[in-house]
Every structure is written in C-alpha cells, then in structure tokens.
Copies of this chain bind each other. A is one copy, B any other.
C-alpha cells in the first residue's frame, strides 16, 4: 500500500523523520479550569504534569496569574493565581517541559509578575482584545525583561474588522514579542477562514516571530482547524486533554498527538489520563452542544450559550430566537471573509 510519505528509511535501515517540529501548548488546567473554577484535585494536576511531560508536550499552561483583589480566592482554585508554592507542589518534576501562565490585560499589572529566575514559570501568555494591544505590549515587554518567553494572544479575532487586525499585527510586528496566537475564542471559524488568518499573521509578522493557534470546538472544527494550522506552518498549537475547556472545549490533545504521530511525541500518557478527564466531563459538561454551535456560528461570545446549558433544559430554538432576533443580513458574514 505504498510508503508513508512522512517516514524515510536511511540506508542503514534506521527510520528517521524529517518533519519540522510543531510546538504543543497544553491548556487543560488553564482553559479547562474555566469549567470548574480551577478547583482540580491536586493529584490529578500532578499526574497531568507528568503525563504531558512524558507525551513530549512543549509547554503546559497551568493556569492564570491574577492580581490580588480581582477574584475572591474563596471561590476559585489555586490555578487562578499560580502562586509559586502551589506550582512547586505539583510541577517540580516537569522535566524539560516548560510551564506557562496566562495573564489577562486589566487583571494583572507589570508589578505583579515575579522574575522568571524565581519561578517555575518559563512562559507568560498575555491575553487581550484588539483595543488593549498597547497595554498587552507593555505587559509583554515587561515579562520579557523579567526573563520569560512571551506570547501575545489577541482574543476573539473574528469580531475584528480586517483593518483592526492589520492594526494590532503592525504593532506586534514592531514589538519584541516573540510569539503571537490566532485566537478563535468564539469557535466561529471554518477551516478556510483560519487558513486565511494564519497566512495573514505569518505574512505580516517578522520571520523570527512565531505564530500559534488557540481554537474552540463550537462547530466541531477545532481539530480540523488545527490540521489546517499545521499545514500552513503554525509553530504552536494549543490543545487540551479530551478537549477540556470553556463551553464546547478545545482541540483534543490525544487527536493532535495521533495526527502528528512523530518520534518526539507520545500519545499513550495522554490516553492514560483521558479516562479521568472523561469522568470529569460527566459533571462539568464541556463539549459540543447545539447552543454552542449557534453562538459559534453567529460569531458571539459563548457566555450566553454556557448560561443556557446550565438551565434544566437548553430550549435550543428559544436560544436561537434570542440570538438571531437582531441578526443582520447577510447573516453568515465574517470579518475573515475579506479574502474572498
């Protein structure tokens, strides 16, 4: 049945692999924590650190850093803050895998960050909306000076006009930020739309800047969009175990590892953890549901759909009516269709 095009046999019979490296960022605890207010069993977090390390995942995003006073610590688990003592209890054995935390512009200031030398954290990912790009750059540059690797994740890019995207990409191009993610916060993108945006990011940014993707599964396109991203040369792909994440969830790490099927990554440690996360899903209920599909398709924030899914019955048609009552025509339009 022919040769696998991705595997080459050396003359001496050894199998080698010439593919470029795709960097994997696991968001299970950070984005999955939105489902349970970051109240994970500590043993599960420790097992997750070990499993991701053994799987060859490059970066584990273990939570958010948040300034004091923004969130009541009594209502959330430790991964909303990522204090150093909490990190050291679970992640001392992380090996070569790097740890990251996300910081939201407006919920933390430069003075709240500790030097990288004093922390297990290696990577800071700054999340912002397009109109917050200047504050994000300020925070990101500060994190760079503290010794971190830094991402800038401009959220909800499907809600921006092409001109707004041009605007923040130009500022990022002129910045020192080394990594930028295309973020489909609403799960609104079809594969052709992500393909277009990824090309745009890669063409606009400097060649030494890396591009990643963070995808949601509202329309069951997250994993297929990750394939598109890899195909288009993405340097980073975000994923989570069993897709755990807000609302419809993220790219399932196990699918991504099976797809990559390369000698640097191993799916077995993730399969070993999957049953624990599958059990969590029974109560936390992330994953595909019709209200998430509706909000994704309409290019809306998932909060209304998440609220609806907490009700006894979703009443999807009523939800559809609520969200489409002010729907403009043509209804299907996305900012990303500029390319057409």
* Residues of chain A whose beta carbon lies under 8 Å from any beta carbon of chain B: 1-7, 15, 161-162, 190-192, 217, 219-225, 227, 231, 242-243, 252, 254-255, 258-259, 261, 267-268, 271-272, 274-275, 278, 287-290, 293-294, 297, 313-317, 320, 329-335, 337-338, 340
Contacts and interface: CB of A to CB of B under 8 A. Distances in A.
Contacts of A190: 227, 259
A5 B337 contact: yes
26 contacts: A1-B161, A1-B334, A1-B335, A2-B333, A6-B330, A7-B330, A190-B259, A191-B224, A219-B255, A219-B258, A221-B224, A223-B224, A224-B224, A243-B288, A254-B290, A254-B293, A255-B293, A255-B297, A261-B332, A268-B317, A271-B294, A271-B320, A274-B317, A275-B317, A278-B289, A288-B288
Contacts of A338: 1-2
Contacts of A337: 1-2, 4-5
A332 B314 CA distance: 40
Given A261-B331, A275-B315, A316-B275, A220 B2 contact: no
B274 A330 contact: no
Nearest to A320: B271
A268 to B, nearest CB: 7
Given A3-B330, A261-B332, A220 B222 contact: yes
B329 A293 contact: no
A271 B340 contact: no
A294 B331 CA distance: 38
A252 B315 contact: no
A221 B332 CA distance: 22
A274 B290 contact: yes
A287 to B, nearest CB: 7
Given A223-B221, A275-B316, A314-B278, A297 B15 contact: no
A59 to B, nearest CB: 23
Contacts of A314: 275, 278
A337 B3 CA distance: 8
B242 A290 contact: yes
* Closest 10 A/B residue pairs (Cβ): A224-B224, A4-B330, A5-B340, A274-B290, A272-B317, A258-B297, A261-B332, A220-B223, A7-B330, A4-B333
Given A6-B332, A15-B329, A316 B274 contact: yes
A220 B288 CA distance: 10
Given A4-B333, A6-B332, A219-B258, 11 more contacts: A7-B330, A220-B220, A220-B222, A221-B223, A223-B224, A243-B288, A254-B293, A268-B317, A271-B290, A272-B316, A274-B316
B2 A271 contact: no
A258 B293 contact: yes
Given A261-B331, A289-B278, A290-B271, A223 B227 contact: no
A221 to B, nearest CB: 5
A332 B4 contact: yes
B290 A288 contact: no
Contacts of A223: 219-221, 224
Contacts of A334: 1
